[in-house]
Amino acid sequence: MSNIIFMGTPDFSAPILKALHEAHGVSLVITQPDKPVGRKRVLTPPPVKEMAESLGIEVYQPESMKSDEAFEKVRALSPDLIVTAAFGQILPERVLDIPRLGCINVHASLLPKYRGGAPIHKSIINGEKNSGVTIMYMVKRLDAGDMIDSVKVPIEIDDTVGTLHDKLSDAGTKLLLEVMPSVLNGTNNRTPQNDDEATFASNVSREEEYVTFDRSALEVHNHIRGLSPWPVAFANFDGKVMKLWASEMADGKGAPGEVIQADKAGLVIATNDGAVRITSLQPAGKKRMDAASFVAGAKSQLVGMKFNEA
């Protein structure tokens, strides 16, 4: 078997690591350090670390791949190939130059569209009909290397970041296994990207989580599902922040942001061309709940109230 280093961190990467190790063997897994999670700030290992340990693979968790220690760790192993998938750190050029077969990345978009750290979120928010996975060679520039192969994955109207994430992880796993033999024997395709067609998907900012309703119903729906189940969209309601976990298209008219219906089906909120129904939400200081429970427990008349009203 070839000497392969795998670099990845979140849930997206774990099944890719498992399949790669079972097919070709992985000598070392490099992932992000354990991080505090939740209100109690419990130190939690990334999913890739948990997968690697279950497979009996050595794990290395550097704070930065730019450090001399990280460079020496990789160089000492003399890998044939480095495979990355949502690792979360940019590899310096001296690390990229180590493997004799180079470094390849499993990226969750149809490059050159949506280069960067949040391609799944941004493709849904922007109303794309398709996403996909591209496997490419890594270069110094962000997600700009030659493409080896790609696969298209349709985005359904009810897809969220969570559902599309899982579809793309599965598609990326299958595609990687398909291209690996040609990568290892040097017969794979290398197609340069057209930089003129490149778009970028930077990590979601707090400002981008804020939902406004003075847009089309489809744009609002895309915004909410494009942030679910993480980091979750929010709006202001009755002077407090409310997280909006799930929505669907609805009928109705009213001033943008106005609640025009509140019943067991949820909260229907007007947009500038129709309405959306919020089916799952989280009031400030409370747990996530279905919108029907929120309506049932409301202490005041909801219809006529407005989201994001000053």
pLDDT at site 2: 85
CB contact at 8 A, 204 and 227: yes
CB contact at 8 A, 255 and 231: no
pLDDT band at residue 37, thresholds of 50, 70 and 90?
confident
Take residue 39 and report the two structure tokens written for it. Answer: 């209100």
Round to whole Å and give the CA distance between 203 and 220: 19
Q: Mean pLDDT, to the nearest integer, of 126-148? A: 97
pTM for the complete prediction?
0.96
pLDDT band at residue 310, thresholds of 50, 70 and 90?
low
% of the chain exceeding 90 in pLDDT: 96
Cβ atoms within 10 Å of 278's Cβ, excluding its own: 27
Asked if residue 109 belongs to a known ligand binding site, the reply is: yes
CB contact at 8 A, 271 and 216: yes
Does the structure show a pLDDT above 90 at 299? no
Asked if residue 205 belongs to a known ligand binding site, the reply is: no
* 130: three-class secondary structure by DSSP: strand
pLDDT in tens, 63-114: 999 999 999 999 999 999 999 999 999 999 999 999 999 999 999 999 999 9
Rounded-to-10 torsion of CA 19, 23, 29, 31: -20
How open is the CA angle 88-85-244, to the nearest 5 degrees? 65
Sign of CA dihedral 96, 115, 26, 148: negative
Does the structure show a pLDDT above 90 at 39? no
Asked if residue 111 belongs to a known ligand binding site, the reply is: yes
pLDDT in tens, 244-284: 999 999 999 999 999 999 999 999 999 999 999 999 999 99
Write phi, then psi, for 304 (nearest 5 degrees).
Answer: 100, -20
pLDDT in tens, 174-222: 999 999 999 999 999 999 999 999 999 999 999 999 999 999 999 999 9
Sign of CA dihedral 172, 152, 194, 123: negative
CB contact at 8 A, 227 and 254: no
Does the structure show a pLDDT above 80 at 1? no
pLDDT at site 60: 98
pLDDT at site 300: 86
Q: Mean pLDDT, to the nearest integer, of 134-145? A: 96
Between the alpha carbon of residue 220 and those of residues 64, 131, 209, 216, 271, the distances in Å are 38, 19, 11, 6, 8
CB contact at 8 A, 142 and 199: no
Round to whole Å and give the CA distance between 256 and 248: 16
What 191-198 contacts at long range (C-beta under 8 Å, 24+ apart), as own/partner pairs, is 191/146, 191/147, 191/148, 192/146, 192/147, 193/111, 193/112, 193/136, 193/144, 193/145, 193/146, 193/147, 194/112, 195/112, 195/144, 197/112, 197/113, 198/111, 198/112, 198/113, 198/115, 198/144
Q: Give the position of tokens 């409310």.
A: 242
Q: What one-letter code names the amino acid at 237?
A: F
Q: Pairing state of beta strands 42-44 and 289-290?
A: unpaired
* 36: three-class secondary structure by DSSP: strand
Asked if residue 112 belongs to a known ligand binding site, the reply is: yes
Round to whole Å and give the CA distance between 269 and 257: 6
